[in-house]
Amino acid sequence: MLSNLDSSAQSDYLATAKRLGIVPADAGSSTSEPQPDDLPPDPAAMRTERVLLDGLSCPSCAWVIEQVLLSKRGVHSARADFFTGTGQLTFDLRCTSLDELGQFIAPLGYRLDTAYDEQRRSSNRRSTLAFIVAAVITMNLMTLSSLRYFAGLGYLDQLPEFLHWLEALLLVPVLYIGWLPMANRALAALKRRSLTMDLLIGIAALAATVLSAAALLTGRDEIYFETAAGLVTIALLSRMIEARLRDRAFRDLVGLFKMKVTKVRLIDGAGEERYSNIGDIASGDRVVFLTGESIPFDGRLVGSTAQVSEAVLTGEPKPVTKHPGDSVSAGSTVHSGRLELTVIRRFEETRLHQITETLSTALSKMEHRLRLADRVSAWFVPLVLLIATGVWLWRLFSYGLPYALSPDGWFPSVAVLAVACPCAFSLAGVCAVTAATGSLLKKGLLVKELGQLELLHTIDHLIFDKTGTLTQGAMAVEQLVWRDTPTPELLCHVLAVEQDATHPVASAMRGYLQRHIPAESVPAGLPVEPLPGQGRRTSIDGRPFAVGQASLFDDPFIPEEMTPQHTAVWFGYGRRAAGCFLITDRVDPQAAGTIAGLKRLGITTELLSGDREQVTETVARTLGIDRATGAMSIDDKVARVKKRLNEGRTVGFVGDGTNDALAMNEAPVSIAVSRSTDEALLASGFVTLHGKLAHLTELFAMGRKLTRVIRLNYIWAFAFNTLFIPVAAAGKLAPLIAMILMLVSSSAVLLNSLRLSVLISPLTPPK
């Protein structure tokens, strides 16, 4: 076989075989093969995978996993998200694989998998099972320990010696199930010079175990194996509750990360159906889906009529009837019938995938909040260890070694370690932001920039674009007016100039002209110069030709038929307009209610448009907008945003067009409607996926509620540690009670954050 390969291929083949152990390391030649780290960069060998991570017990675990994976040869980037239980890895296939990376982190108590649904259910089952087993054993331990207490009080005769050893034996599986994974995570962090929250609980349980074992071996009665088991069991309960609450907070987001379809029915050239991997499907292929199946591609329906649900992208659960020739979007589900589709875009090219990637990028920007747990742990954990040690040393020097080794001497230190875990503090902001993001997504609002989500409550002035934002964007030419004698040949030039323009006005003119002008009469290859916010111009036979606002002409004319509701577009040679299109666009029926809702929130509104001043003012009066300015260029919009900021206002901008992108970039908060251009979508911090303006009121109401929840979370977490650490240090708090209080603190933060999962606001205008 090797003889059929060229020398380079033979070398690569032999090197791979050696690395895999298929052939001895000294086989082939004496020349040493290059190691994977020495291999030249090869984009074809790079793989980016989104995976499920199991075993995350707190935000610090995400950091530990990242650092461990990054230390692995061939891993170029690693990102772990505690709240989703997911991660994204970029690695070199020549150096490592997903299986190998999973094995690499397995000894630390973490698991890596790509099967989202099955693995998540398996993870929840394991955490639940671990808690149940530990709880049953701990209850038996407490029953046995109660016999010792009764004997000590004289209610029972002397107990058999083996009872103490039975307690020690029962503790072993609890330590194996709960304490050992915790210790592995803490040690992994220690090797990287990081102190995590696992360390506190691990030391507390270990101290109770070691001191009880010492008492058992020396014949003393101060045996508290049930305390160690109780600490571990409550820690497992905390993990189980947090995992379930975390899943609930994130359930609306996780759905977007899943594409259950891995294989589809492909109709081959012979007309036969066969199964094919989703990754092998290309544009132009014909695929078939049956009732209940999800569609992972954008395509066009062929064959018979079918009903689909487009709730993922439109938010409307009612099935839509699709006829042959209709487009079908990725993420739709076949409601009834057999759906045969010609693929237009593969899943990686679809809008659903773009939304998923946008959301993933936004969530990755939560890393600085996740790192807050590490920053807190960096000083808080050593401080807690110092307090616990100081409490024990004070008892040692005050009462002597025998007292310090007695339960009264070491219980306070263990209680400090148990109650001081800063989980609630680290979860305070992250959980609230995650719950808010999921709730907004369910309502059709995609959060691209989490920083802007936290700024929403500060916005007091909102600027709107007009066309396509407050209007429906379904513009149509109502009339074509000529200055003098009609010159139809000019219309061919207008169509050529507007051929690739994306603005709704250009689309309206194209639709009108294409019904009257044969395609072959339209000149091709004209050098068109876009004038954002004004129009377009070109040169024809050495003469300048322009299409756009009146400002492009020294001598525009005013058609008698023009009303304040008309958008006017002039065209002509030189500086003299020869004709004018009168275009109409209806106001979005939800716009007036949205403006009223924003006013009830105390937000002032302003309308900026490139359209005529008269049209802009008419729309503003109709909707109740506070201020309006027309004939605005791109630079004018940017200048207006800067002016409002300089006036001390906190500004948001809502737009949809390329001419809005710079102003959206300038504003602290920017929102793009669903039909926006790529430039506007890129500049925005939020996207209204379903195009419903009414959701803007919910967005700003959510921003204010989010701020209140986060503040309450931080106040609670800070007050909890401030209050109970001194109580524990004073010996007034048993370790088990301290651990229960820590669980209550974290759960309170999570439950408070879950209030954001359902936003019921009386300020929402009626639909």
Specify the pLDDT at position 370.
Answer: 45
444 in the Ramachandran plot: left (φ > 0), alpha (ψ -120 to 50) or beta?
left
**If DSSP states are collapsed to H, E and C, what string results for 343-361?**
EEECHHHCHHHHHHHHHHH
Task: Give the domain CATH number at 331.
Answer: 2.70.150.10
462 pLDDT tier (thresholds 50, 70, 90): very high
Taking the CA atoms of 452, 457, 458 and 462 in sequence, report the sign of the dihedral they define.
positive
| 157 in any annotated domain | no
Task: Give the domain CATH number at 626.
Answer: 3.40.50.1000
| 577 in any annotated domain | yes
Lowest-pLDDT choice from 101-115, 420-434, 441-455, 643-657: 420-434
| The pLDDT of residue 29 is above 50 | no
Residue 552 and residue 537 share a domain: yes
Residue 610 and residue 543 share a domain: no
446 pLDDT tier (thresholds 50, 70, 90): confident
Percent of the chain with pLDDT over 70: 76
Task: Give the domain CATH number at 516.
Answer: 3.40.1110.10
Q: What is the pLDDT of residues 688-716, one digit of tens each?
A: 876 667 788 888 988 888 888 888 888 88
How many domains, in total, are found in the chain? 4
Specify the pLDDT at position 685.
Answer: 82
Q: Would you state the torsion angle of the CA atoms of residues 415, 418, 419, 420, taken in this order, to the nearest 10 degrees?
A: 110
| The pLDDT of residue 134 is above 80 | yes
Residue 572 and residue 489 share a domain: yes
23 pLDDT tier (thresholds 50, 70, 90): very low
Residue 538 and residue 600 share a domain: no
What's the average model confidence in pLDDT over 733-750? Answer: 74
Residue 571 and residue 485 share a domain: yes
Q: What is the pLDDT of residues 528-538, one digit of tens each?
A: 888 877 889 89
| The pLDDT of residue 348 is above 90 | no
Q: What is the pLDDT of residues 724-735, one digit of tens each?
A: 888 888 888 776
Last-in-domain residue among 637, 660, 691: 691
How far is the C-alpha of 718 from the C-alpha of 425, rounded, in Å? 7
How far is the C-alpha of 755 from the C-alpha of 45, rounded, in Å? 45
8 Å CB contact between 628 and 617:
yes
Tokens of 153: 């009080």
461 pLDDT tier (thresholds 50, 70, 90): very high
| 490 in any annotated domain | yes
Which residue type sits at 82?
F
Alpha-carbon distances of 765 from 446, 453, 462, 527, 649, rounded to whole Å: 20, 21, 17, 47, 25
Of these ranges, 428-437, 533-542, 717-726, the one predicted with the greatest mean pLDDT is 533-542
Residue 526 and residue 576 share a domain: yes
- Range(s) of the domain holding residue 307: 263-353
What's the average model confidence in pLDDT over 407-412? Answer: 80
8 Å CB contact between 345 and 327:
no
| 519 in any annotated domain | yes
Specify the pLDDT at position 377.
Answer: 58
| The pLDDT of residue 3 is above 50 | no
Residue 593 and residue 578 share a domain: no
Lowest-pLDDT choice from 90-99, 220-229, 425-434: 425-434
| The pLDDT of residue 2 is above 50 | no
8 Å CB contact between 684 and 448:
yes
| 197 in any annotated domain | no
| The pLDDT of residue 427 is above 90 | no
Identify which has the larger pLDDT, 360 or 93: 93
| The pLDDT of residue 191 is above 70 | yes
Please name the helix (run of DSSP H) or strand (run of DSSP E) that holds residue 551, with its range, or none. Answer: none
DSSP 279: G
Task: Provide the CA 757 distance to its chain's centre, in angstroms.
Answer: 15
Specify the pLDDT at position 114.
Answer: 59
Specify the pLDDT at position 720.
Answer: 80
Residue 576 and residue 666 share a domain: no
Last-in-domain residue among 584, 619, 634: 584
Q: What is the DSSP string of 440-497?
A: HHHTTEEES-HHHHHHGGG--EEEE--TTTTB-S--EEEEEEESSS--THHHHHHHHH
Specify the pLDDT at position 639.
Answer: 92
| 580 in any annotated domain | yes
Residue 683 and residue 553 share a domain: no
767 pLDDT tier (thresholds 50, 70, 90): very low
346 pLDDT tier (thresholds 50, 70, 90): confident
Which residues have CB under 8 Å from 554's CB, separation 6+? 575, 576
Tokens of 555: 């001598």
Residue 572 and residue 498 share a domain: yes
Task: Provide the CA 579 distance to its chain's centre, in angstroms.
Answer: 50
Last-in-domain residue among 536, 551, 584: 584
What's the average model confidence in pLDDT over 618-634? Answer: 88
Lowest-pLDDT choice from 7-21, 148-162, 237-251, 499-513: 7-21
Residue 515 and residue 483 share a domain: yes
Specify the pLDDT at position 268.
Answer: 81
Specify the pLDDT at position 647.
Answer: 92
| 374 in any annotated domain | no
| The pLDDT of residue 641 is above 60 | yes
627 pLDDT tier (thresholds 50, 70, 90): very high
Q: What is the pLDDT of residues 283-338, one digit of tens each?
A: 888 888 887 777 888 888 887 788 887 655 554 556 778 888 787 877 777 877 78
Identify which has the larger pLDDT, 193 or 506: 506
Specify the pLDDT at position 205.
Answer: 82
What's the average model confidence in pLDDT over 256-267? Answer: 63
**If DSSP states are collapsed to H, E and C, what string results for 608-620?**
ECCCCHHHHHHHH
- Which stretches does DSSP call E strand in 358-468? 445-447, 461-464
| The pLDDT of residue 123 is above 60 | no
**Residue 646: strand, helix, or coil:** helix
Tokens of 735: 């370790």
Residue 681 and residue 595 share a domain: yes
Specify the pLDDT at position 284.
Answer: 85
Summary mean pLDDT of the chain: 76
| 620 in any annotated domain | yes
In 3D, which of 587, 589, 581 has the Cα closest to residue 559?
A: 581
Q: What is the pLDDT of residues 560-596, one digit of tens each?
A: 888 887 888 999 998 889 999 998 877 888 888 889 9
